[in-house]
Structure 1
Amino acid sequence: MSARSCRDCLENFYEGVNFLYGRQYLRMPIATDVPLLYEAHQRIHGFPGMLGSLDCMHWEWATCPTAWKGQRHRGDHEGPTLILQAIASQDLWIWHTYYGMVGANNDIFVLQSSRLFDDVIDGVAPNTSFYTNDVECKYGYYLVNGIYLEWAMLVNTLSCPDDEKRLYYKKKQESARKDIEQTFDVLKKSWCIITQSTPSTD
């Protein structure tokens, strides 16, 4: 097949996926989804008020133009990358993505550039209040790794737990964050299948 035919087939595939699954999966949670997310995360992970796990993944860009490689390369990766920020729940529902930041950036800069909290800032976010220990919390939260800022809606892991209770929490939090790691693994494997059957046209 020619490169043009491969590209057209891939676009048709994307349109088909969007048609079949877009209304159910490719969207932000609405008010009726939030209690379901809370219930599932509390039942599976033991975290009340958890909306999902937030993380970033570096996506290798094998055909990056030479002039752009410097700003898209970071020392802990072999070549240039683009960054994907995503939130996923335990059933692989990816309901937030922000893609395309250059690989030289870190997760904090990506978060500050994304529009994740725009609805909350603008006051149009769905009601996500919940109760824990008889205290009402206005917004749910996202589990993140230890490099993120201490924001109210981000729950970091503990870097150096110094007692059994904190050690237990660290293990539970890291276990719950497997949701986003599993999601990234699925994306990588899916991309490998697509690229193995489709010649690169970048």
Structure 2
Amino acid sequence: MLAYGVPTDATDEYIKIGESTTIKSLKRFCRAVVEVFGACYLRSPNADDVARLLHISERRGFPRMLGSLDCIAPPANYVIKGKKYNMGYYLVDGIYPKWSTLVQSIHDPRHRKKKLFAMKQEACRKDVECAFGVLQSRFSIIAGPARLWNKKVLHDIMTSCIIMHNMIIEDERDINASIEE
């Protein structure tokens, strides 16, 4: 169900268990994945992770940017135009609140510098959309309409898919690869 997004009644023909047992098994599996592996695969970034993110962002033209997410920024000390900052920032679109850690898109860029900034910012923000697309392609249950309406169950399904994705990435990662990879 997670990988192929098949409905519960389709599993009955293949594995010979009823719909209610299939749903119960899916819920228990996802909850177990979150409980057992969540601490390891959903941890806050460590110093090496932050250094890698900052390096990649700087190479893309956004020094000290941590990513294109909406969450609390870990400490990152830097100076821009003589002003000292003590936390990183995230690129977001206009639907987010105006917080010091969130840098919003320029709505209607008219000057060359603002157009260049908006273009580069949009390219970085697309990383999140791409990451979600990867999850959807790997776990079809995410791509389709929600069949289980309980928020806790939906949270466990999404979280377990992210955890398993992170496990796959870790397993396939080349530890000798350059920091950009």
Matched residue, 1:15: 32
Q: Is the 8 A contact 1:131 1:137 kept in 2?
A: yes
Deviation (angstroms), 1:12: 2.0
After superposition, the C-alpha distances for 1:41-68 in whole angstroms (9 at most, x for unaligned) are 222x2211111112xxxxxxxxxxxxxx
Alignment partner of 1:30 out of 46, 65, 81: 46
Matches for 1:111-150 after TM superposition, within 5 Å: 116-117=71-72, 126-132=74-80, 135-150=83-98
Deviation at 1:19, TM superposition (A): 4.0
> Does structure 1 retain, via aligned residues, the 8 Å contact 2:136–2:143?
no
Q: Which position in structure 2 is the counterpart of 1:53?
A: 68
Output the amino acid matched with 1:144: V
SS in 2 for 1:51: strand
Paired position in structure 1 for 2:103: 155
- Write the distance in 2 (CA, Å) between the matches of 1:155 and 1:46: 14
Secondary structure in structure 2 of the residue aligned to 1:40: helix
Tell me how many residue pairs correspond in the alignment: 131
Using the size of structure 2 for normalisation, the TM-score is 0.58
**In the alignment, is residue 3 of structure 1 matched against residue 19 of structure 2?**
yes
Cα-to-partner distance string for 1:25-50 (whole Å, 9 max, x where unaligned):
3122234432222112222x221111
Q: Which has the higher strand share?
A: 1
| RMSD after superposition | 3.1
Q: For residues 13 and 133 of structure 1, do their structure 2 counterparts lie closer, same or farther at Cα, with a shift above 3 Å needed?
A: same
8 A contact 1:146–1:156 mirrored in 2: yes
Give, in angstroms, the shift of residue 186 of structure 1.
2.8
1:47-98 Cα distance to aligned partner (Å, 9 max, x none): 11111112xxxxxxxxxxxxxxxxxxxxxxxxxxxxxxxx5xxxxxxxxxxx
